[in-house]
Structure 1
Amino acid sequence: MSKITIALEAAVATVIENSPKDVRQTARQRANVDRAFAGILKLIAPRIRHFIRQYGLVAHWDDAEQCCAIAVHRAIEAYDPAKAQFTTFVNWQLRGELQSLRFRLMTDQRPSAKKVEATTVSLHAITVGTEGEEASLESMIEDENALSLTESAASEQMAGDLRAVLIGRYVDHLRDVGMEQLKRAARTKRPAAQDLAKPRFKAPNHGIDPADIADMEAKLAQHVHLVERRIFDDTCLDDLEQEFGIAKERLRQTAKRAAKTIAELAAAEPRFASELNRKLPQRRRPSKAAVQPAVTIVPDQHAAHNLLTNVVAITPEAGEPLAESIDARLAATLTTLVSETLN
């Protein structure tokens, strides 16, 4: 082996040794891996330059070098020393990554593209619309209703799956009830006379007549079809009456009992119980504006601070003596103040 091959094997062994899979990588191990990986890229740098020129990616040199680094990473992860040498194994990884990059960047250079005269068009290229406005191809092919249509289709799919599950639970419930009734009817019937000399075996269907089971399954299928048409398809009673030949009142009662049973089965199912018990948000009613009390000049006689207060209305006749007494008091007060000031 050459010196480069020996150095590559040693560097790859260092990377594998310092890349444990079961435990967390330490800082020293990461430093050793980075140092060894840089050495690998330095050793195969001439080979990388040769492949970049060979695949015609000189104009995209930085992208090509990044692809080669990714190829080296993948080669180290998948390398098995017992099967081949790393210098040979890494060549195929480099070729694959560079070829993939060339197909992504230069689609028109492939022979298949040249035969049909294909041209690579960027979605971000500016084009002119029908009315002369400038727009990119990405905006022209974008569907504005894509999100709503996707959500609608997803909700319909989920509703269909839920419907199938609920119908399956309902059918199983009806079948169990019907089988129990047939078992009780079979036990009440008197068994036919048998030869005591012959051995007696237990019937696999608990003595139920297979014809009764087939009749029950036929009635069950018709009943389930009726329930699906009435509850899930919302078919009117007139159409169901013509289709099944059953009175409308009986159809209504049958659908009502079926809906109640399905609701009970759904409530008993753990994955449905949480949704059924979840309270829907109540619509908030607009609160009425508080009535403001009327403002009056006279104080409120029922207020706590006015319970011991008496309001007396003064008439003009009763107010004259009161005014004279007030004037006399004011005159006396002024005389006293003037005399005190002069003294």
Structure 2
Amino acid sequence: MSKTTEAIEKAVQAVLVQRPAEGEEPTARQRRELDRGYARILTLIAPRIRHFIRQYGLTAHWEDAEQVCAIAVHRALQTYDPAKAQFTTFINWMIRGELQGLRFRLMTDQRPSARKVSATTVSLHALVGNGEDETEMEVAIEEESALPLTEASASNYLAGSAIDALLDGYVAHLRAVGLQQLSRRTRVRRDRVFAPDDRPRLKINALDPAEVSDLEQRIARNRALVEHRLFDLPAAGHLLDDPSITKERVRQITKRAVQTMAELVAKDPRFAVMREVAGGKRLDGSAGAPIAPTPARPPRVQPIMPDRGERQPIPADQHDPTRVVH
């Protein structure tokens, strides 16, 4: 046994002593000693690594070969069993396997199938040969599916953002109309108080929190129905599985949602592209006169009324005689 082999075996034994037991984390001292032992082993094996790199014809890829050899040493230290063989014998086969895999990855002409057709591995930079930037050839290679995938992803993202903005506008419109409707109903339920001059004064009550909560629940349910029926988006099951709502009611909700969102698109500048497409303009520059879009008009008021069976009649003693019904 040579002196180098003996030094390698001693360094390996020192590393194995510092290796923690299975399932335990190494201490800071153990990690430090393991790193030192690993560096010591790499220094002792360096001549052998250089020999194998030349033997496998990887001198043109020296840095990559040194890295895979370092990986081989690391894996060998983790799986080495002193009872089966010496470390120098074990590490030789580990280094050979890593270098063989690297050669097959970098030099495909070394494979038996390539030798049959006399294939030769040529570097991309050798094709240029005029001193250009080394990264230019990699950048010049175009992936055929990259542009369609990028455009499809951008289109999906913009479509999703437009859908979210439309739904947010639809919900804001429903909330505004619903609160306005509740405020009108609240004015009817008001108390009569008398001033010192015995003239009646009207005192308007505040909105009922229960009614506001019920309104928010109906708005959330309507949004879930619109997302599921119009845009085929997943929604919470408890919002869709409402036994108190019929199919005809769902159809009416979605129909009104389409009308409301169309009117929002007609007046909101964020949806100018949608408005042009809906109005018939040609956005691709093709021949033909563009069709003028429909003039924008204010959104139609669609009050959110309670579902059938939820509407409560107004008591006769709380009727407002001054209220005008159109």
TM-score range, shorter chain: 0.3 to 0.5
Q: TM-score with structure 1 length normalisation?
A: 0.41
Q: TM-score with structure 2 length normalisation?
A: 0.43
Higher relative contact order (CA 8 A, sep 6+): 2
